[in-house]
Chains A and B, each alone.
Chain A
Amino acid sequence: MLKNYIKIAWRNIWKNKAFSVINIGGLAVGMASAILILIWIENELSYDRFHENGKNIYKLYNRDTFDGENWAWGNTPKILGKTIKEDYPEVSHVARVDPNEDLWLKVGNKKFKTTGIITDVDFLQMFSFPLYDSDESSILKDPSGIVITQKLAKKLFDDNDAMGQTIQVEQSHVYKVAGILKDLPNNTRFNFDFILPWNYMKVNGWDDSYWGNNSVQTFVQLKPHVSQVDFDKHIKEITINHTKESAHPSSTEVFSWPLEKLWLYSKSENGKLVAGKIITVRLFSVIAIFILLIACINFMNLSTARSEKRAKEVGIRKVVGAQKRNLILQFTGESILITFFAGILALLLVFSFLNPFNQLVNKSLHIDYTNFTFWLLIIGFILFTGLLAGCYPAFYLSSFQPAKVLKGKISSIKDIIMPRKILVVSQFTFAILLITCTIIINRQINYAQQRDTGYVKENLIYTILDDNIRSNYLSIKNELLQSNAVVAVTKTLSPITEQYSDSWGFSWNGSTEADHDTGFTIMSADTDFTKSTGTKIIAGRDIDINTYPSDSTAILLNETAVEKMRLKNPIGAIVSDSNTNWKVVGVIQDFIIQSPYEPIQPMMICGPSRWFGVMHMKLNSKNSISENLATAEKIFKKFNQDYPFEYHFVDEKYANKFESEKRTASLSALFAGLTIFISCLGLFGLATYMVHSRIQEIGIRKVLGANIAQLVTLLSSNFLQLVLISFFIASPIAWYAMSRWLNNYTYNIGVEWWVFALVGIVIIFITLLTVSSQAIKAALSNPVKNIKTE
């Protein structure tokens, strides 16, 4: 019997090639999209789940209230981990991690900057990053030992044995390779090519015991059977207790957060960690399900639309003894066979588009084709899709009464018109929803991109200050200016596109107790800050340490800070923190350093008493950029000959701020396009069958005097009505969803009515384009032939 089913299924597929292409193509695109999204979801859900001790590892967080707002953040003081290790017996391991340190590594002539972490000896005992041939319990104990990944070992030492070899780190530190790690998997939040022991912090003078300096991440591993609740109770007031006797008692509480929740549930909201990336995961799960459903709906619609053709067969089979269940089995089998072909095509599509998809989601997802489980899941997925797509047609077709259908009394169109309408409406509702969201997300990105940053991004570059540049700064600056390649140079705390530091606890004339909690974004500058960055002074002057030596403690306030501090005459005002009295020398127009979607925060740009980490250079616009860079490179090389000149364009860095939203927009556009494509494929198929089933009616209407325009309108109007219903269902949903999404951004464009009108017009146009070709073909056909045919 099975052979018979397969035979007839295959002959049906072959006989109705157009139908098969639409069905298999639509299903394949839907399945490929769903598979790609599922691979991405699987990767997201597996983040840091591979650590053997994962269930007992927690990251420590701070919680405090500033300006009446509760905050939770994951950077903790260095002393926290040390104290916990010494005083808390319920903890078996502690690792402080200074993440994402970009350092210069040099071996012979090879030198490049790469990312590493500085951490405690417990790190590799807590986390399962397997080593080749070393003992992980002692590996980071050696203060002069560095651990590198296989990838870095290959890069530094080619195919030679890296173990025991030396690597120069930055200008003055030499480390011996004490271990080689297998390359990190693509599902860990950690990102490093090397691990330096904590000793590196000490020799650089970066280690400190200050409870107020939140600069590292702290991970603890609790002993088995120690509950997180008990541990949290124990550590809650650790910072408060250790600072209550000091000059600056802290009110910061500490709590732990499970490693396994870190990736998906660590968005800080009102002092608590809540769902973060998991929302995107859920969103894309819904999209995957919907795209698959839309493809399955096509199958259902086309299969039931073809019911007239299959009705006779059903009748005959029933007459010769087939029971309903035989027929359900047959039709489900057919849909599984079609899905099987679609599945093969989908795998080819996945294989072809995995790299572009990786670029789109900024991941390195891969499929292990040798993995048995993968193939098992694919077979399961095909069966699931086949059943999903095939069950409705199977039940529908198998319910035909032979006595009726063999007499040609199939009222298929009327019988199934309502379910089919509902299916088409569902498809287009989802498609319209996605198109509307895509347009609004893109509008929001453009809106934020066009927001005045308050500085001039063009021709502005920066480089990170390393030891050599730092010690030769003035000479480099002078030569750059003399070379005419650069028109202004300034040293700052951070790049103008990034906030490295914020602070609170300031007082000034007229400040209240509550003002102590006011947080300020901290920046620093030596001279020519406004000239270099194109920011504008609106009162007073720029910091200029060359002209005014006392400017080491000068500050510039931005407009928001002046307003927040209620300063009527800001110039000359003294703003004090625990160590320094800062004198306000100027007020600078607000500029964006954080999120372009958020309001600008109060900011202080401090004089050279603060640390500098970055050097900004304004290139001469009269020369070409390449000329300017070549000149600058020569100068940097002269003073820093061992290392290449590494620079970043501010406009590129600023554009990166929109990366996440742009990715969401691209994915949304991609899936909207696919949804429209699959839905239109189905609509085309339906239109073809609709025209076929009404061909006699068209003939009669034509004989009675209907013209082509009237006939095309008649045939297209049914589909147009359905699409309009979808539009009216989708629009309020899109409005609600996008209003909520835009609420995440203080600086947002709002939901505009014309977006819905535009989507409406576009969708009507696409529908007409899809349906009208069939309608016109039918309207132009010879009525005599059509009436005769029937």
Chain B
Amino acid sequence: MIKITDLEKFYRTDEVQTIAINKLSFEVKEGEFVSVMGPSGCGKSTLLNILGLLDDPDGGSYIFNGIEVAGFNERKRANLRKHNIGFVFQSFNLIDELSVFENVELPLIYTGVKPAERKERVHEVLEKMQIMHRRKHFPQQLSGGQQQRVAVARAVVNNPKLILADEPTGNLDSSNGNEVMDLLTELNAAGTTIIMVTHSEHDAKYSHRIIRMLDGQKVTENILAEYQH
């Protein structure tokens, strides 16, 4: 599903150029659950941004579902993203001015889904995430765990092929964290590919494979579970 080859990303300031991703190559198959680990500043989040088409690579190739997307412009990236990719962030990133229902509904609005169908799909996913009773609440009225469940609901409401999770349990206590990881595992079991950036060895154990990075490069790769294609 994803194949990156010699991927590069630099950050430049007036005087210094920093290499965030350095000739990185790997492949992720459809239905896989991959964790990316490494110390702060190793390029994990940059990698996730590129994979999520939020950022451009400076070199190398990125093939998504058989299409080279490295040179896509913003409009094409947005189109591809909204139909195929869901995001879950450490800090939840819900819009404070929108209710739970409206936050989850947002991706459906941008993909042009009709209001009646939107309502049905949002209710369905909220039920699944067991947050239906909070649908009229605003983010600041929810606990961290509930907010992250809403964020997961928003990530999956469009039935994406890929979910990118950036430290999804980073802001949660262990009980809420485990709940979120169970949710992601369930989604993966249902066929969604997941790539998760994490510092937590505990969370990484939920995945099939761990890619460990240092200074923008892959250093090791551990297979934890047999991935059944």
Partner of B74 from the list A7, A315, A324 (CB cut-off 8 Å) is A324
**Hey, which chain B residues are within 8 Å of A4, CB to CB?**
102, 105-106, 109
Least Cβ distance of B205 to chain A in Å? 26
Given contacts A401-B55, A403-B49, contact A313 B102 (CB under 8 A): no
Known: A7-B102, A8-B97, A315-B93. Is A407-B45 also a contact (CB below 8 A)?
yes
A12 to B106, CA, bound (A): 17
CB contacts under 8 Å to B, within A9-57, are: 11-12, 15
Instruction: Assess whether A321 is in contact with B74, with CB atoms less than 8 Å apart.
Output: no
Complex Cα spacing A320 to B104, Å: 10
CB distance from B98 to the nearest CB of A (A): 7
Q: Which among B83, B89, B97 is the interface contact of A12 at CB below 8 angstroms? A: B97
Pick from A11, A320, A324, A326: contact of B97, CB under 8 Å: A11
Query: Residues of B within 8 Å of A, CB-based: how many?
Result: 29
Which of B78, B82, B109, B158 interacts with A1 by CB under 8 Å?
Answer: B109
Q: Are the CB atoms of B97 and A321 closer together than 8 Å?
A: no
Among the interface residues A12, A313, A324, A326, which one has the most CB atoms of the partner chain B within 10 A? Answer: A313
A322 to B108 CA separation, bound complex (whole angstroms): 10
CB of B110 within 8 A of chain A?
yes
Partner of A402, one of B45, B54, B75, B158: B54
- B residues 28-68 near A (Cβ < 8 Å) are 45, 49, 52, 54-55
- Chain A residues near B52 (CB-CB < 8 A): 319
Closest-by-CB residue of A relative to B75 is A323
* Given A326-B110, A403-B49, A318 and B78 contact (CB-CB distance below 8 Å): yes
List chain B residues, Cβ under 8 A from A317.
95, 106, 110
Chain A residues contacting B98 (CB-CB under 8 Å) are: 7-8, 11
Decide yes or no whether B154 CB sits under 8 A from chain A.
Answer: yes
- Complex: how many Å from CA A315 to CA B49? 12
- A481: which B residues are within 8 A, CB to CB? none
| Beta-carbon contact of A320 and B54 below 8 Å | no
B78 touches A323 (CB 8 A): yes
A516 at the interface (CB under 8 A from B): no
Q: Which residue of A lies closest to B98 (CB)?
A: A8
- Contact indicator B95/A319 (Cβ below 8 Å): no
B87 pairs with A319, CB closer than 8 A:
yes
CA distance A313 to B97 in the complex (A): 9
| Interface SS of chain A | helix
Assess whether A674 is interfacial by the CB under 8 Å rule.
Answer: no
Q: Does A406 contact B (CB under 8 A)?
A: yes
> Could you say which residues of chain A place their CB within 8 Å of the CB of B75?
323-324
Is A312 an interface residue, CB under 8 A from the partner?
yes
Contact A319 to B110, CB < 8 A, known contacts A15-B97, A312-B93: no
Asked whether, in the complex, the Cβ of B54 is within 8 Å of the Cβ of A318, the reply is yes
CB of A1, distance to nearest CB on chain B (Å): 5
* A-B pairs with beta carbons under 8 A, tally: 69
B78 / chain A contacts, CB cutoff of 8 Å = 318, 321-324
Residue of A nearest to B46 (CB): A403
Measured between beta carbons, the chain A residues less than 8 angstroms from B55 are: 401, 403
Enumerate chain B residues within 8 angstroms of A757, measured Cβ to Cβ. Answer: none
Q: Which residues of A contact B74 (CB under 8 A)?
A: 323-324
The A671-695 residues at the B interface (CB cut-off 8 A) are: none
Complex CA gap A321/B45 in Å reads 19
Tell me, in angstroms, the Cα distance from A402 to B54 when the chains sit together: 6
| A316 located at the interface, meaning its Cβ lies under 8 Å from any Cβ of chain B in the complex | yes
Check B5 for interface membership: any CB of A closer than 8 A: no
**CB-nearest residue of chain A relative to B104?**
A320
Q: Assess the A401–B97 pair: CB atoms within 8 A.
A: no
Query: At the interface, yes or no: B81 with Cβ under 8 Å from chain A?
Result: yes
Say yes or no for B145: interface residue by CB 8 A criterion.
Answer: no
Instruction: Report chain A residues within 8 Å CB of B21.
Output: none
**Is B107 an interface residue, CB under 8 A from the partner?**
yes
- Supposing A401-B54, A401-B55 touch, asked if A322 and B95 sit within 8 A by C-beta, the answer is no
Q: Is the CB of B95 within 8 A of A313?
A: yes
**In the complex, which of the residues B45, B79, B82 contacts A320, with contact meaning CB atoms closer than 8 Å?**
B82
Interface residues in chain A, defined as those with a beta carbon under 8 Å from any beta carbon in chain B:
1, 4, 7-8, 11-12, 15, 312-313, 315-324, 326, 401-403, 406-407
Known pairs A15-B97, A321-B83 / 15 extra A-B pairs, C-beta < 8 Å: A4-B106, A8-B98, A12-B97, A312-B93, A313-B97, A317-B106, A320-B87, A320-B107, A321-B82, A321-B110, A321-B158, A323-B75, A324-B75, A403-B55, A406-B89
Binding site for A on B (CB under 8 A): 45, 49, 52, 54-55, 74-75, 78-79, 81-83, 87, 89, 91, 93-95, 97-98, 102, 105-107, 109-111, 154, 158
A-B contact pairs, 25 of them (CB 8 A): A1-B109, A7-B98, A7-B102, A8-B97, A8-B98, A12-B97, A15-B97, A313-B97, A315-B93, A316-B93, A316-B106, A317-B95, A319-B52, A319-B81, A319-B93, A320-B154, A321-B78, A321-B83, A321-B107, A321-B110, A322-B78, A323-B78, A324-B75, A402-B54, A403-B54
Top 4 nearest A-B pairs (CB, nearest first) are: A321-B82, A321-B110, A403-B49, A320-B107
